[in-house]
């Protein structure tokens, strides 16, 4: 069983660390080169806009002081995913990649909240609230898991460990 759990972490950890580092490096660069609420127009419908988000994903509940509940939920989600990986040695590789993305995104946003009390958002498509790489990693990971679950066992069998 330890061998399978170790295998889980050999897949999960690189995805986790890469997504976390990409998120943190991108936020560092945005803060370094853009003032708060500053914006750089890249394309017609895309800008880099530095925003401090005290709310949830995409700025939801941004006007309320809910920092502690958000941080607690983030810690519980982070711990829950780690517990799931530790207790389930036969997780398909595809799910480990998706969980690594989700966990990296959670850790990236938690690091911001603990360090500055808000999350740095900067990806602005002008038709959607400003977000960051951590948000994108979480959404892609969750949608990947949901899509695979909805497709059923036949679709997910191609992702089974061999």
Name the active-site residue from 23, 65, 112, 121. 121
SS3 41: strand
Q: What distance in Å separates the CA atoms of residue 147 and residue 85, rounded to the nearest whole number? A: 20
Cα–Cα distances (Å) from 24 to 4, 5, 53, 135, 152, in that order, read 30, 27, 15, 12, 35
Beta bridge partners of 120: 52
135 catalytic? Reply is: yes
8 Å CB contact between 49 and 37: yes
Name the active-site residue from 23, 65, 112, 135. 135
Q: What distance in Å separates the CA atoms of residue 85 and residue 8, rounded to the nearest whole number? A: 7
**Catalytic sites, residue numbers:** 121, 135
């Amino acid at each position: 069983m330890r061998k399978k759990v170790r295998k889980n972490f050999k897949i999960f950890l690189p995805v986790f660390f890469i997504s976390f580092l990409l998120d943190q490096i991108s936020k560092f660069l945005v803060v370094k080169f853009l003032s708060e609420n500053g914006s750089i127009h890249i394309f017609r419908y895309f800008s880099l806009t530095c925003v401090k988000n005290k709310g949830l994903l995409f700025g939801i509940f941004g006007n309320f002081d809910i920092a502690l509940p958000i941080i607690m939920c983030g810690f519980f989600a982070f711990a829950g995913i780690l517990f799931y990986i530790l207790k389930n040695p036969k997780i398909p590789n595809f799910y480990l990649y998706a969980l690594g993305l989700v966990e990296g995104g959670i850790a990236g946003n938690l690091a911001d909240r603990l360090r500055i009390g808000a999350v740095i958002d900067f990806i602005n498509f002008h038709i959607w609230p400003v977000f960051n790489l951590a948000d994108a990693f979480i959404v892609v990971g969750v949608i990947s898991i949901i899509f695979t679950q909805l497709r059923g066992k036949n679709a997910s069998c191609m992702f089974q460990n061999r």
